[in-house]
């Protein structure tokens, strides 16, 4: 269990399997909804369940590292599955982090102007409404950038003394989990 908050590895000789049960930032934990909404398909003669598009978008939207950015995957998923997405569930998944979803939707409209209808009007209206009524919290010293990149925003935590948005009570991780995950920067195989 190199990262007890999200990833286990099984090795046998030259073969290995990753067991992923959350996201590196601890946000997209695999729960019953992943399985309840997982479509079934035939892969090499075996019926398997696939990750639902909504959960894939949710987990990939936060991967914005310098060396790995899954934004193109999010855009491709919106392009191909947008009309059939369970948009209420997707909004529920993002919860308080709805701005991350909104940013991808804005980029989607830029990248695929001919597919803007893939995002329902009511979703755009709801996210725009949320943005218009939100006000800055001048008392907060938390930085949520670490939910997007554990390395690129480290300076903000270390030098500018922001509180890490991954750490409870603001986020889903413990200080120990954050230290293990941060110490591994550049070491993951």
pLDDT of residue 187: 73
Q: Per residue in 72-103, pLDDT tens?
A: 999 999 999 999 999 999 999 999 999 999 99
pLDDT band of 21, cuts 50, 70, 90: very high
Q: Per residue in 121-148, pLDDT tens?
A: 999 999 999 999 999 888 889 999 999 9
Asked if the model's pLDDT at residue 185 lies above 90, the reply is no
d(CA 79, CA 185): 32
Average per-residue pLDDT for the chain: 95
Percentage above 70 pLDDT, the chain: 99
pLDDT of residue 1: 93
d(CA 145, CA 167): 12
Picking from 94, 33, 84, the residue whose alpha carbon sits closest to that of residue 61 is 94
Tell me the pTM.
0.93
Picking from 119, 42, 39, 23, the residue whose alpha carbon sits closest to that of residue 77 is 119
In degrees and rounded to multiples of 5, residue 153 shows phi and psi of -105, 0
E strand intervals along 28-121: 40-43, 46-49
State mean pLDDT over 156-183: 95
DSSP string, 105-134: HHHHHHH-GGGGGGS-HHHHHHHHHHHHH-
pLDDT of residue 123: 98
């Amino acid at each position: 269990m190199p990262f007890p908050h999200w990833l286990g590895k099984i090795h046998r000789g030259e073969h290995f399997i990753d067991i992923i049960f959350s996201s590196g930032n601890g946000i997209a934990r695999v729960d019953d909804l992943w399985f309840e909404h997982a479509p079934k398909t035939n892969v090499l003669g075996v019926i398997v369940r696939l990750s639902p598009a909504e959960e894939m978008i949710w987990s990939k939207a936060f991967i914005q590292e310098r060396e790995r950015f899954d934004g193109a995957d999010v855009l491709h998923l919106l392009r191909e599955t947008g009309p059939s997405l369970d948009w209420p569930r997707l909004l529920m998944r993002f919860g308080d982090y709805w701005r991350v979803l909104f940013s991808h939707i804005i980029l989607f409209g830029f990248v695929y102007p001919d597919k803007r209808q893939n995002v329902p009007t009511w979703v755009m209206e709801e996210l725009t409404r949320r943005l218009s009524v939100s006000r800055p919290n001048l008392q907060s010293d938390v930085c949520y950038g670490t939910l997007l990149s554990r390395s690129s925003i480290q300076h903000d935590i270390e030098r500018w003394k922001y509180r890490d948005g991954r750490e409870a009570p603001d986020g889903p991780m413990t200080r120990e989990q954050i230290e293990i995950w941060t110490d591994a920067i550049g070491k993951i195989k």
